[in-house]
Structure 1
């Protein structure tokens, strides 16, 4: 092999050129390279799949396990700003330099003995991160599924515990057109005789059936674990264990109790290998942090960042915005992928939005700002144009946010949502400071 890249940026560019398709579902190619790498984990592995809530569930698992004194490793995707965010070792994002040796190892294995294997960007980078994690002397590895489950690159690792969060309709071209089909794909991360935690309150029957067919140990929300609570505190109960008087997770939003319940069930399911104390649970829930999940930046105007990018997550965002109380006007910075079913997303949140700032995104998969505006206008025509909201077009999320800040009054609210690229675009230079505009007011 000649002229291997010397930087992480160079390796990522190399990965982008290797395969004709951005997404090519299947485990044969990635499994072969993993075999050549002799990739294996010596610690419990918890794999998390689902339409929404995966990242939050991984962060909750990580926070509690760390508070219990364990060395944690997390793989999640996509990233908001920097690629290195996809891997955290003991709570710290890995540095770019530490990844390079693992990219080199994957490339050597991929081209071994002239039997070259073509890998997609996601497959190559997943293998590099998994190799880094496998050598990091972890007590627990937490893997977030990228897409689906059964054919996702993370599924080359046998999970000691599988978690399936919400199941909703998304990525239909790869996973299928309905919840039952999509549920069957996500159920592919289960393993015979091992626990699977299903935190979706109304899971597809295909998920339940697959667990029974293969003999997995099914932990089902509402059957094997549950939560209750009031405005001050909440409680969790599972098989033979109960936590009472818990503070709400530091991650905002009503849906986080479901995610936290699933995380606690998973930790209970692996208790023999990874026991945690009640104090670790309490402290972990209080300290968990994950940017871009209903992240509220205080100031004037208030700023809300959320990676909601499908109908289900936008419905949750809408409910959370509604619960924030009264704001004279809400400004929305919105950019999204072209393959999303945008009409139900826009329709759900529309009653709360007074002004839209549609933005282009730096990826060919994205809908253009003009395309978003056209879809919004079509939705208004169908609705009879009862509620007019001003719209504008912008070349980037940063530009759109600047326009929103310029137009907003101090008592208003700005919400940035629609894609990791949208939220990541405004976070590139750190959390925006919006107060400056009104310091002299």
Structure 2
């Protein structure tokens, strides 16, 4: 079969068809194929990062700091925005089509009759590429949950849980405690577990104590605080670092950077102190309060898609100069859209709703989204079949010097990037 697959797109279409479900949690399948591939540890040291929000940003901080230290680093993240290659980075460079194809060939040859999901294929391919690259550090982002996610195949030297909030309830449970129990599954006995929020669910802490993991908690074991407009301080007992503010916008990014620092310092061989400031300043990540300009209008795009992320976006808006903001919102069908909208109820905003179909898994028409929001402040929003049309309408409504915030999913941001860049 692999002889007929000649391009990366061919392979991606093929692996998408190899399991009847897009999400099928469990480690038995992926572990069996990893064993057949002879996969070992993907790098000399491994950090696994899970959580509801902030995973991608924390990966970016860890990667940038480690590279500033001169380490050879691999980073695996998901989902991607525009190109699958974004998911696998080696020494700062996205994996090439040829590298990914060779990795998929290796997975295909080893799997036999084992059906793998799209994410499982990608995870095994990334781990194979990392092992070939002889890395100093692999940074692995959990896809969904933690305990049964394919990334949890790897025993991390340090695990990070950024935040725990309500999302993916069909798979992870209905509340923070049950979701926290799933995410805590990435912790390993007698290894550090970094917690990037002050109020982690009790299930996370109980699991850490039960297995002997060393829980390092923001606000208890390490701290972050602003010093002035240019600098902030990270500290723990007996040590502190003075750092530039992260280039990624939003106050929450200091929490993510603080967790990244704690994780790296918890390694058996951490980076030198000088690498932390250089790495924080160098970290970049598209789709996180990313600013773009078009015809005198300020567009800001963000992948935020759940209530916790919406609250952070609303907090960011409150910190901006006061003016009416046009909100372009397109969400997947399984998201709590009502709670997302409620996060902006006290702000001067105007809503523009858009559909996400076809092409987006779990996508929904704008009519379906508007129906779910009929009793919210977005009830009188403009409705548009797609994100591009909504962007154009929001730009007209904003006028020159106006602001448009675009958010709701990775699909929303990807469509926005394509549309805004096509008019440059």
Q: Same fold by TM-score, threshold 0.5 exceeded?
A: yes
Residue 418 of structure 1 is matched in structure 2 by 408
Output the CA distance in 1 between the equivalents of 2:199 and 2:421. Answer: 36
Distance apart, 1:108 and its partner CA: 0.6
Which deviates the most, 232-241 or 304-313? Answer: 232-241
Q: Is the 8 A contact 1:59 1:288 kept in 2?
A: yes
Residue 409 of structure 1 is matched in structure 2 by 399
Aligned partner (choices 309, 317, 321) of residue 321 of structure 1: 317
Is residue 235 of structure 2 the alignment partner of residue 237 of structure 1?
A: yes
5 Å matches for 1:191-202? Answer: 191-202=188-199
Output the CA distance in 2 between the equivalents of 1:261 and 1:189. Answer: 19
Output the CA distance in 1 between the equivalents of 2:405 and 2:373. Answer: 17
Output the CA distance in 2 between the equivalents of 1:231 and 1:420. Answer: 33
Output the CA distance in 1 between the equivalents of 2:141 and 2:181. Answer: 17
Output the CA distance in 1 between the equivalents of 2:251 and 2:228. Answer: 11
Is residue 355 of structure 2 the alignment partner of residue 359 of structure 1?
A: yes
Is residue 278 of structure 2 the alignment partner of residue 290 of structure 1?
A: no
Residue 136 of structure 1 is matched in structure 2 by 133
Output the CA distance in 1 between the equivalents of 2:422 and 2:6. Answer: 32
Residue 157 of structure 1 is matched in structure 2 by 154
Q: CA RMSD in A?
A: 1.7
5 Å matches for 1:11-410? Answer: 11-41=11-41, 42-111=43-112, 116-232=113-229, 233-244=231-242, 246-270=243-267, 272-273=268-269, 275-298=270-293, 300-327=296-323, 329-350=324-345, 351-361=347-357, 362-380=359-377, 389-394=380-385, 396-410=386-400
Q: Is the 8 A contact 2:227 2:233 kept in 1?
A: no
Distance apart, 1:148 and its partner CA: 0.3
| CA 1:13–1:267: 2 relative to 1, 3 Å | same
Scaled by the length of structure 2, the TM-score of the pair is: 0.95
Q: Is the 8 A contact 2:352 2:390 kept in 1?
A: no
Output the CA distance in 2 between the equivalents of 1:2 and 1:405. Answer: 46
Q: Deviations over 1:321-351 (max 9, x none)?
A: 2211122x32222111101111110111243
Distance apart, 1:389 and its partner CA: 4.8
| CA 1:105–1:430: 2 relative to 1, 3 Å | farther
Q: Is the 8 A contact 2:373 2:379 kept in 1?
A: no
Output the CA distance in 1 between the equivalents of 2:312 and 2:146. Answer: 23
Q: Is the 8 A contact 1:333 1:359 kept in 2?
A: no
Output the CA distance in 1 between the equivalents of 2:218 and 2:325. Answer: 35
Distance apart, 1:433 and its partner CA: 6.0
Distance apart, 1:431 and its partner CA: 4.5
Structure 2 stretches lacking a partner, 5+ long: none
Output the CA distance in 1 between the equivalents of 2:2 and 2:404. Answer: 50
Q: Deviations over 1:63-108 (max 9, x none)?
A: 1111111111100000011111101111111121211011011001
Output the CA distance in 1 between the equivalents of 2:342 and 2:12. Answer: 37
Distance apart, 1:366 and its partner CA: 1.3
Distance apart, 1:53 and its partner CA: 0.4
Which deviates the most, 149-158 or 121-130? Answer: 121-130
Which deviates the most, 423-432 or 316-325? Answer: 423-432
| CA 1:2–1:227: 2 relative to 1, 3 Å | closer
Which deviates the most, 424-433 or 61-70? Answer: 424-433
Scaled by the length of structure 1, the TM-score of the pair is: 0.91
Distance apart, 1:247 and its partner CA: 1.3
SS of alignment partner, residue 202 of structure 1: coil
SS of alignment partner, residue 234 of structure 1: strand
Residue 418 of structure 2 is matched in structure 1 by 428
Task: Count residues with an aligned counterpart.
Answer: 419
Distance apart, 1:355 and its partner CA: 3.6
Q: Is the 8 A contact 2:2 2:105 kept in 1?
A: no
Output the CA distance in 2 between the equivalents of 1:257 and 1:72. Answer: 22
Output the CA distance in 2 between the equivalents of 1:430 and 1:94. Answer: 26
